[in-house]
Amino acid sequence: MTEPADLAALPHHAPAAPPGATGAPVAGAAPDDGVPPPAAPTTPALAPLRVPHAMAAAFGEDLAPRVEAFMAAVAAHRLTVDEPAPVEAPLIEAIARAGGMAALVIEAPEAPAMPSAPLFIEKLILVERLGAAGLLRQALTALGRGEPDSALTDAQLLLRERWDAAQRIAKDDAMVRDFLVGLGADPDALLA
């Protein structure tokens, strides 16, 4: 085997130091020839797998054991010939491909929606508010209390029957709102 006469001309070889010279290269040290050593090969980092909380929660306590079992089955399958590949639920397979449970990021559950304003008001509350406003007697008179059905118009009879039958009143009930306006009341305040 022939060696080149000038090792310094080859990349990554330091020139031999004269005997007794200071700064002699240390065995295993990187040479100082101005050429950086090649970078060590790296495996690209996989991005974490983000999964909605509800999807992960559907597997419950079985998620991690199933991922581990599937990863073991895939590893064992690499040693087989003419055998079908293991199959699992798509989420389990995705977690395994991403690198296992360490690569899994379970997103926080969505905050429950703020409850909207109630669409109904208990009739008892409305009766109490009418009483507090001094309008209860006027309201009962307008509903035709004490009047025979035959003395009322169809609209008045319908309003009275609806009033008597209701336990709750829709806040957007046009007939009730008109009734309250007819009493001189603010329907938005009474139905709030």
Query: Does the residue 15 lie in any domain?
Result: no
168-189 pLDDT tens trace? 999 999 989 999 999 999 999 9
Q: Are residues 96 and 131 in the same domain?
A: no
Query: Does the residue 18 lie in any domain?
Result: no
Q: 3-state class of 94 per DSSP? A: helix
Structural domain boundaries, residue 66: 49-106
Q: Are residues 97 and 127 in the same domain?
A: no
Whole-prediction pTM? 0.41
Q: Are residues 183 and 132 in the same domain?
A: yes
Query: Does the residue 55 lie in any domain?
Result: yes
Q: Which residues of 110-143 are buried (b: 16+ CB within 10 A; e: fewer)?
A: eeeeeeeeeeebebeebeebbeebebeeebeebb
d(C-alpha 46, C-alpha 99), whole Å: 8
Q: Are residues 81 and 138 in the same domain?
A: no
Q: Are residues 69 and 131 in the same domain?
A: no
Do the Cβ atoms of 107 and 50 come closer than 8 Å?
yes
100-146 pLDDT tens trace? 999 999 998 888 877 777 799 999 999 999 999 999 999 999 998 88
Query: Does the residue 167 lie in any domain?
Result: yes
Query: Does the residue 5 lie in any domain?
Result: no
Do the Cβ atoms of 119 and 170 come closer than 8 Å?
yes
Q: What's the number of domains the chain is made of?
A: 2
Q: Are residues 179 and 133 in the same domain?
A: yes
Question: At 9, is the pLDDT very low, low, confident or very high (cuts 50, 70, 90)?
Answer: very low
Q: Which of 58, 78, 106 is at the close of a domain?
A: 106
